[in-house]
Chain A
Amino acid sequence: MPIPEISLFPVGNGDMTLLRTGDGQHLLIDCNIRSSADDPDDSTLDVASELKDRLPTDSYGRKYVDAFLLSHPDEDHCRGVQNHFHLGAPKSDIGDKILIRELWSSPIIFRRKSKNHPLCKDAIALASEARRRVKKFRDEGLGGCEDGNRILVLGEDEDGKTDDLAEILVKLDACITSINGAHDSTFSATLLGPLPSDTDEESEALSKNRSSTILSVRLNNGDARAQLLLGGDAGVEVWKRLWGRASLGALDYDFLLCPHHCSWRSLSFDSWSELGEQAKPDSDAVNALSQARDGAVLVASSKPIEDDDSDPPCVRAEREYESIANRVSGEFVCIGDDDAAVTEFEVGALGLRRKVKHARTRGMGAQPLPHG
């Protein structure tokens, strides 16, 4: 039985998080593979290779993720998808690209995003891949959904557009316990967002507030478990509403991916660059993001945080998260502080812990051992 793991790739202000479950399934949440990371002459960590090193290979020799979730279609969450993942009907030879066995996609997020902003080319490609997979399901049912064709639709779309997709639809507050069609006894994920909008005003407000898929993921290792709160770039309005509607314990976490790369805009309606220390956090949003358990780890997937007026990452948000961490003797970690390596956590027999980091030796440690 593999030990559940969380791998956070250093991708600057962007997200790229790989979860490995205790059943050995791999769920990749977002990806931001910059051209500098693909450039062998650039010192930026080659995160695509780091990702592939952690992925299994199927009988056709294809690297694969069991599921890929796009939290929302911003470029810093899907950059490099076309270059590094196979999109389109699955085939046995996909070169060195990665097969997405099951795509987790939220139509409402695409809709809200594209209402106000043009989609980047990787997001367009993913939207088209999602449509291809949904069509395949509509045409052939679950029977047509083998590896590379499966899709899970997160959240109901507006105007009943997803009403005929019951078998592949995850409704708000529902719990996902299967990945790529296989029940995973070590994994569950509750869908906390995107939140629905009853009125046009609500819809407008959420559109402007960086709607994201929000998951509360549980990784189990025997009796031990770790609760992860993953909210993409969700903004303050979303967290405020979540605090208002979430049931008791639904927002508890051992691990928080601080939304929007440690942005002040997820904690406050005020502008940090304009108001500075006068900016006030929204108490509901802060509450929503403060449900840390003892020793919780709060991670900013961002560049190193400077004491200036930039946002994200925002030093004021860092202070807020550090204070949450301090209250539970936890830890605030900025991925950008060590961008030469993947930051990793694992779920041991007594719960979440950091994974041991190996010394960076020059290729030693891997000498073939002979036998005499």
Chain B
Amino acid sequence: MRSRSLMADADTTRALEALRQHPHVDASTIQVEKRTDGTTDVFASIRVCLPVKFSKRGFGARGVQALEPVRFRFPSSYPLGPPVITLRKDFDQNLPHVQPRPGEVRPEPCLVDGSVDELFFAGGLATLVDQLAQWLTLAASDELVSAASGWEPARRDRNESLLFFDSSAARTLAEEQCNTTFVPMGYVELPKDIGGTFKAELVIQRVAIKNRACTTPHFKQGDPAGTGLGVICTPSPDQTQNRYVPDTVADFAELKSYAHALGCGESFDRAIRVLTRHARPSGAERRLLSVVLAVRRPFNLRDSDSDLELLCYFLRLASKGFSDSLPVLPATHRDPPNTALLARVSGLQGGDPSPYSVLGCGSLGSKLALHLSRAGQPPVQVIDSAPWTPHNAARHALLPAEEESFLNKATLLAWQLRKALLCRTEGVDADATRLLLEDNTPLKPVSVLVNATASLRVRHALAGTQQLAGARVIETALYDGGSSGVMLTEGPDRNPSTLDLLAELYALAESMPLLREALKRSKHTSVDVGAGCSTSTMRMSDARLSIQAAAMAEGLLRVIPQGALPETGQLDVFQTNDHGLTRSTTNVSASLLVTPENAPEWKIHVSHDSHMAIESESKGDSNENGGILMGLLSEAAKQVVVSRTLAAPSDSTRSPTRFTLGTRNRDQSIRSASESYANGLTWVGTWHSHPKGGDPSQLDHETCGHLAKQTAGQVAILLIWTPSGYRALLADPGRLSGDEHQ
């Protein structure tokens, strides 16, 4: 105990020294008083920077003196906590930024927008005194509220009840109506043992007060919950209230006079007249009424873009109506979690967001939707046909109650977003492929469709569909137990498409060995999820999946809220490692689209990279030239994606009228290239040049026919470079006549 007391003395001495040396502390005024409860009071005067014009009289606005006496009450635990700083008893309490301290005679200045404890630990005692000097200096210029800092909401010394409503909707109503508006209210009364006050929610939609269904409460005495009525009183025109006055309203008479003082008197009186006439309660009914005074301030409220301050109260009407002594409870307003609030808290600026939907509500899709919704950017629709099953609990964003298990995932996700975040997301229980290829009527128009299905079928259906009406697809997928993730963002007019971007991903793997190995390793395994039942999934922890989902959601948040989709295609690769996650982004230019002359329903997508390679070998060469094409095929989408070229075998021959592709090491080089492209790219055909232009030759058509017989039932292409553009033929086993088949 002795050592503790010595420590305390050393701490106190150090604190006193900090005060003595502070430029705003008049060291000659410091007095110390040890108290029996272990706390220590230090009295000192603070030098205030008065406006110079008041130097003569020695005090500034609100009677703030050039030397203000203050008390620092150091807790016995100091320096584990800051001293409580209070002002002299007769300091003007009608100032903003004074802590509500019921029963305390010395006002306590509110020194920081946040925690005094944190400020103390960040900067020490001197920083508290810095803030105190600043506070007093601003008080002396009557500047504790200013346009720069925003209007400070009226201080209340008792704030127990909570009133939820959408403040921007209420303000819009107040601005438009310039009148009195009644709105429906639902509420619960909290039990006496936790304060016995109310928690209510207003629905900001106007109701006619003559409608008794709205005004008659379903609530009887003793019921814990019910419906009531809210009234929004608007300011009379030209009524701007410049003076900050703490709110001490406790009964009806005070509320009425406060409403008049704040410029809402006319509207308030009208509300009371209407209520008295139409909504008189009878018998045991006790109606709960909430009153919202919308007070016009000279500038915007702190951290707000509105100059209307909303002051809320509860009144519990008895049968005798509005007597002056009717008790009034102040209520704290809270915005329900609307998208604007969520976007603000997430640090997003307002913009013109791209509406989007999410295909696939599995682990990744649900987390993306939740991350974006929590940032105030909910999807228009979430789409999935699968039900929730218990093994989803390992990684899914939702943890449904037992009775909700086995419901459709999209329905569950949308329901959760609507309930908890007040989003308007719609859940669609449907098979994505069917929606894309057969009946798209349930799909709402969007700018972006996020494909988080990790389904090859959906990927190919998306590549082939014409039903997206201008929407661009962003595909998200995880590989190799989440060690790698990719996000493929289509370019304008879906060029490059997700298939083009996927081919580019495989091509990139050549120079990214970790990605290459991850892609090669990536596979699903069968996991036992019940008797006689297993599921094919990828084994990875929720934490690993969440790292990837969070990084992808951040990527989406860079484009969706501002409607700022990239001007090219974009390929993001996310790789987790021992240190966290790295992201590499590649911009992918649009592909050249070529229609084979013998198969107009097919499309050949020639990547920018391949085009440059072909052009550099062909342009200016009088001989025909050629080589091998590597890429992807999609029979479902009728597309051939050419991603990279391989050099022609060494035994190829070139002349001004003919190019013959050799065979030396041809198959080996294709195999080895395919290997370096993580086995994602395969041989899709050949190219050659016609330096003098012209249509595909008879020989080309013949070669095409031969080729079709040798491709094991898959298509291949003959791509022909000419100075005026590409021509192409499709070698399609599907077009061989019966004779040719043999």
Is A161 among interface residues, defined by CB-CB distance under 8 A? no
Scoring B residues 130 to 144 as 1 if CB is less than 8 Å from chain A, else 0, what string do you get?
100110011011110
Scoring B residues 53 to 66 as 1 if CB is less than 8 Å from chain A, else 0, what string do you get?
11110001100000
CB pair A356 B51 closer than 8 Å: no
Min CB gap B239→A, angstroms: 21
Given contacts A1-B148, A361-B124, contact A349 B24 (CB under 8 A): no
Min CB gap A337→B, angstroms: 13
Is B123 among interface residues, defined by CB-CB distance under 8 A? yes
CB pair B147 A1 closer than 8 Å: yes
Is B126 among interface residues, defined by CB-CB distance under 8 A? yes
CB pair B142 A350 closer than 8 Å: yes
Determine the chain A residues whose CB is within 8 A of the CB of B54 once the complex forms: 295, 350
Determine the chain A residues whose CB is within 8 A of the CB of B134 once the complex forms: 356
Is B22 among interface residues, defined by CB-CB distance under 8 A? yes
Is B77 among interface residues, defined by CB-CB distance under 8 A? no
* The one of B52, B140, B148 that contacts A3, using a Cβ cutoff of 8 Å: B148
Min CB gap A252→B, angstroms: 13
Min CB gap A295→B, angstroms: 3
Is B49 among interface residues, defined by CB-CB distance under 8 A? yes
Is A357 among interface residues, defined by CB-CB distance under 8 A? yes
CB pair B51 A359 closer than 8 Å: no
Determine the chain A residues whose CB is within 8 A of the CB of B122 once the complex forms: 364-367, 369
CB-nearest residue of chain A to B56 = A329
Determine the chain B residues whose CB is within 8 A of the CB of A348 once the complex forms: 51, 137-138, 141, 143
Min CB gap A322→B, angstroms: 14
Min CB gap A67→B, angstroms: 23
Determine the chain B residues whose CB is within 8 A of the CB of A367 once the complex forms: 121-123
* The one of B126, B130, B141, B147 that contacts A350, using a Cβ cutoff of 8 Å: B141
Is B535 among interface residues, defined by CB-CB distance under 8 A? no
CB pair B141 A353 closer than 8 Å: yes
Is B129 among interface residues, defined by CB-CB distance under 8 A? yes
Min CB gap A51→B, angstroms: 21
A355 to B23: give the CA distance in the assembly, Å: 12
- Residues of B in contact (CB 8 Å), total 35
CB pair A297 B51 closer than 8 Å: no
Given contacts A349-B141, A365-B123, contact A356 B53 (CB under 8 A): no
Scoring A residues 332 to 366 as 1 if CB is less than 8 Å from chain B, else 0, what string do you get?
00000000000000001111111111110100111
CB-nearest residue of chain B to A368 = B122
Is A84 among interface residues, defined by CB-CB distance under 8 A? no
A353 to B60: give the CA distance in the assembly, Å: 11
CB pair B137 A359 closer than 8 Å: no
Is B50 among interface residues, defined by CB-CB distance under 8 A? yes
Min CB gap B141→A, angstroms: 4
Min CB gap B70→A, angstroms: 15
Min CB gap A365→B, angstroms: 3
Determine the chain A residues whose CB is within 8 A of the CB of B52 once the complex forms: 254, 294-297, 330-331, 351-353
CB pair B142 A349 closer than 8 Å: yes
* The one of B56, B124, B138 that contacts A294, using a Cβ cutoff of 8 Å: B56
CB pair A293 B53 closer than 8 Å: yes
CB pair B24 A357 closer than 8 Å: yes
A348 to B129: give the CA distance in the assembly, Å: 20
CB pair B49 A364 closer than 8 Å: no
CB pair B53 A359 closer than 8 Å: no
Determine the chain A residues whose CB is within 8 A of the CB of B50 once the complex forms: 353
A176 to B327: give the CA distance in the assembly, Å: 60
A357 to B127: give the CA distance in the assembly, Å: 11
Most buried by A among B53, B134, B142: B53
Interface hits, B606-621 → A, CB 8 Å? none
Determine the chain B residues whose CB is within 8 A of the CB of A349 once the complex forms: 141-143, 146
CB pair B49 A353 closer than 8 Å: yes
Determine the chain A residues whose CB is within 8 A of the CB of B129 once the complex forms: 359
* The one of B24, B55, B60, B146 that contacts A356, using a Cβ cutoff of 8 Å: B24
Interface hits, B593-637 → A, CB 8 Å? none
Determine the chain B residues whose CB is within 8 A of the CB of A358 once the complex forms: 23, 126-127, 130
Most buried by A among B130, B141, B148: B141
Given contacts A3-B148, A354-B49, A369-B118, contact A361 B123 (CB under 8 A): yes
Determine the chain A residues whose CB is within 8 A of the CB of B61 once the complex forms: 350
CB-nearest residue of chain B to A254 = B52
Given contacts A294-B52, A351-B51, contact A359 B130 (CB under 8 A): yes
* The one of A331, A351, A359 that contacts B22, using a Cβ cutoff of 8 Å: A359
Is B21 among interface residues, defined by CB-CB distance under 8 A? yes
CB pair A353 B137 closer than 8 Å: yes
CB-nearest residue of chain B to A351 = B51
Determine the chain B residues whose CB is within 8 A of the CB of A293 once the complex forms: 53
A294 to B140: give the CA distance in the assembly, Å: 17
CB-nearest residue of chain A to B118 = A369
Interface residues of A (CB under 8 A from B): 1-3, 254, 293-297, 328-331, 348-359, 361, 364-367, 369
- Please give 18 more A-B residue pairs, beta carbons under 8 A apart, in addition to A296-B52, A328-B56: A254-B52, A254-B53, A294-B56, A295-B52, A331-B52, A349-B142, A349-B143, A350-B60, A350-B140, A351-B53, A352-B53, A353-B51, A354-B49, A359-B130, A361-B127, A364-B124, A365-B124, A365-B126
